[in-house]
């Protein structure tokens, strides 16, 4: 029997599993798939707010008692970020930033997004710095357009010039022409040398160079550091279309840490049903082509994601259902008309707030606040009461709730 069964292999599930193994718990992850690590931008956003983020999180929690930050407390956010950074450091994935204030980082469209922490390979792109930029990318690559990015940055008052360099490999018939294919190219020293030789003469006073976030996968961060040395000025990464190479780097850290701890990760194994006795969950049953397999656990962390991640589904009438336990979903649009709005993002559309209601221990509760399962904790996007995309709280909530979930199981 396992000490902890984690249902879901997105960032909240994998981080929760890593934290549980650090407590000495025998841990198993069961999931239908890899969820959202491969689409996340790479930075860690806590809240889109000016000034001291810890103070702003505390204000939000006081104002919105149903918000996940109110359930976890601001200390869980700070402790969770500290734990995540410590987990990633031995694998070379280093985060810089602070809860004292946001970085302002560019997107591939040239927009500016606030983030509390980001990998070191992102931070030279902080738009709070006035240094002029050269935005560079492979000529003809469909997922990153330097001229578009630079033009939109320029409209916001940030000095930026575009440059498209030649990278003949991406035009080969059998080349995997997505971000992972480019990242594996940048793992190669000769590719970095050829690219740097083209960029150096085009700096024209630029004090930093922005490039798509493909600067190495298996050889990261050495690949990024080497390219930066070759060019001679700081180089920063800009997120591109999925699959997200920065997200894959984090996924690989989680996977390596769990393997080192002896925790088993079972993918492509959706949970068919949970075995429950009274108010305690005893096991998860997974169906396969041969027979049903039952995995028993003392505790369960439910981290299957929300409507976008498949942890919550909708029928043709618009009714929402949690997929593993059939838990009640709070915050769903109440009428068919509420499904429609002039804007989806950014907006306060009700669907953004839909999820599972929980108590301060992150145990799921019904509409009357009664705890449904004593040994279950809910973490990540499955929680109700917050609008991650518009609040800028997506990563902060999964970090804080994962930390809180594990802390309460081992209190």
Parse the chain into domains and list their residue ranges.
Answer: 2-92+249-409, 125-233
Q: Residue 271's beta-bridge partner residues?
A: 286
What pLDDT, in 10s, does the model give residues 126-168?
A: 999 889 999 999 999 999 999 999 999 999 999 999 999 999 9
- Residue 171: per-residue pLDDT: 86
User: How much is the average pLDDT of 396-404?
Assistant: 98
Is 297 a residue whose pLDDT tops 90? yes
Do the beta carbons of residue 330 and residue 385 sit within 8 Å?
yes
DSSP reduced 3-state for 391: helix
The two three-digit tokens of residue 332, written as one number? 């769903």
Buried b (16+ CB within 10 A) or exposed e, 262-301: ebebeeebbbeebeeeeeebbbbebeeeeeeeebebbbbb
- Tracing tokens 């082509």 back to the chain, one arrives at 289
Neighbouring C-alpha atoms within 13 Å toward the C-beta of 393: 29
Do the beta carbons of residue 258 and residue 197 sit within 8 Å?
no
- Residue 176: per-residue pLDDT: 79
* Radius of gyration, CA atoms only, the chain: 22
Do the beta carbons of residue 380 and residue 305 sit within 8 Å?
yes
- Residue 290: per-residue pLDDT: 76
β-strand pairing of 112-115 with 103-106: antiparallel
Do the beta carbons of residue 246 and residue 218 sit within 8 Å?
no
- Residue 363: per-residue pLDDT: 97
CA distance 41 to 156: 21
CATH topology assigned to domain 2-92+249-409: FAD/NAD(P)-binding domain (3.50.50)
Q: pTM score, two decimals?
A: 0.95
What pLDDT, in 10s, does the model give residues 68-95?
A: 999 999 999 999 999 999 999 999 999 9
- Residue 341: per-residue pLDDT: 75
β-strand pairing of 312-314 with 271-277: unpaired
Nearest Cα neighbor of 220 from 43, 92, 37 is 92
Do the beta carbons of residue 39 and residue 244 sit within 8 Å?
yes
Listed in sequence order, the residues at least 6 apart from 236 whose beta carbon sits closer than 8 Å to its beta carbon are 121, 122, 123, 124, 125, 208, 209, 210, 211
What pLDDT, in 10s, does the model give residues 321-354?
A: 899 999 999 987 777 777 777 777 777 778 888 9
- Residue 343: per-residue pLDDT: 76
Do the beta carbons of residue 108 and residue 137 sit within 8 Å?
no
- Residue 316: per-residue pLDDT: 78
User: How much is the average pLDDT of 11-25?
Assistant: 98
CA distance 46 to 54: 9
CA distance 34 to 285: 19
- Residue 289: per-residue pLDDT: 67
CA distance 12 to 401: 8
Q: How distant, in Å, are the alpha carbons of 65, 134, 384 from that of 359?
A: 10, 49, 11
CA distance 282 to 297: 6
CA distance 164 to 146: 7
β-strand pairing of 208-212 with 235-238: parallel
What percentage of the chain carries pLDDT values higher than 70?
99
Return the DSSP state at 171.
G
- Residue 380: per-residue pLDDT: 97
Mean pLDDT for the chain? Answer: 94
- Point out the least confidently predicted range of 296-305, 342-351, 391-400: 342-351
CA distance 384 to 195: 46
The two three-digit tokens of residue 182, written as one number? 């480019």
Do the beta carbons of residue 35 and residue 379 sit within 8 Å?
no
């Amino acid at each position: 029997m396992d000490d902890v069964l984690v249902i879901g292999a997105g960032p909240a599930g994998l981080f929760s599993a890593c934290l549980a193994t650090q407590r000495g718990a025998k841990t198993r992850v069961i999931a239908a798939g890899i969820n959202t690590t491969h689409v996340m931008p790479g930075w860690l956003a806590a809240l889109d707010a000016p000034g001291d983020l810890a103070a702003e999180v505390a204000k939000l929690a006081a104002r919105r008692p149903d918000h996940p930050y109110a359930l976890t407390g601001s200390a869980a956010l700070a402790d969770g970020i500290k734990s995540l950074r410590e987990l990633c450091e031995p694998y070379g994935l280093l985060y810089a930033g602070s809860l004292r204030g946001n970085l302002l980082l560019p997107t591939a469209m040239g927009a500016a997004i606030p983030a509390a922490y980001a990998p070191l390979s992102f931070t030279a792109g902080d738009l709070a710095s006035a240094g002029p930029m050269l935005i560079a990318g492979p000529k003809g690559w469909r997922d990153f357009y330097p001229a578009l990015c630079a033009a939109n940055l320029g409209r916001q008052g940030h000095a930026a010039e575009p440059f498209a360099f030649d990278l003949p490999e991406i035009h080969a018939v059998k080349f995997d022409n997505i971000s992972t294919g480019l990242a594996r190219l940048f793992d190669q020293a000769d590719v970095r040398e050829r690219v740097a030789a083209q960029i150096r003469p085009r700096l024209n006073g630029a004090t930093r160079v922005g490039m798509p976030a493909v600067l190495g996968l298996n050889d990261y961060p050495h690949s990024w550091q080497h390219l930066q040395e070759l060019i001679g000025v700081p180089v920063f990464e800009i997120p591109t279309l999925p699959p997200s190479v920065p997200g894959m780097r984090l996924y690989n850290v989680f996977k390596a840490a769990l393997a080192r701890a002896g925790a088993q990760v079972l993918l492509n194994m959706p949970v068919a049903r949970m075995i429950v006795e009274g108010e305690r969950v005893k096991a998860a049953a997974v169906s396969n082509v041969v027979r049903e397999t039952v995995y028993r656990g003392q505790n369960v962390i439910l981290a299957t994601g929300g409507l976008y991640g498949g942890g919550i589904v909708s029928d043709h009438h618009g009714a929402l259902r949690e997929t593993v336990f059939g838990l009640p979903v709070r915050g769903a649009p109440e009428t068919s008309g509420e499904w429609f709005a002039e804007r989806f993002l950014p907006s306060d559309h009700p669907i953004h707030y839909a999820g599972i209601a929980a108590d301060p221990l992150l145990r799921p509760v019904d509409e009357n606040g009664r705890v449904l399962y004593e040994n279950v904790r809910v973490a990540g996007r499955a929680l109700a009461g917050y609008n991650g995309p518009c609040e800028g709280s997506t990563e902060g909530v999964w970090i804080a709730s994962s930390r809180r979930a594990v802390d309460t199981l081992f209190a």
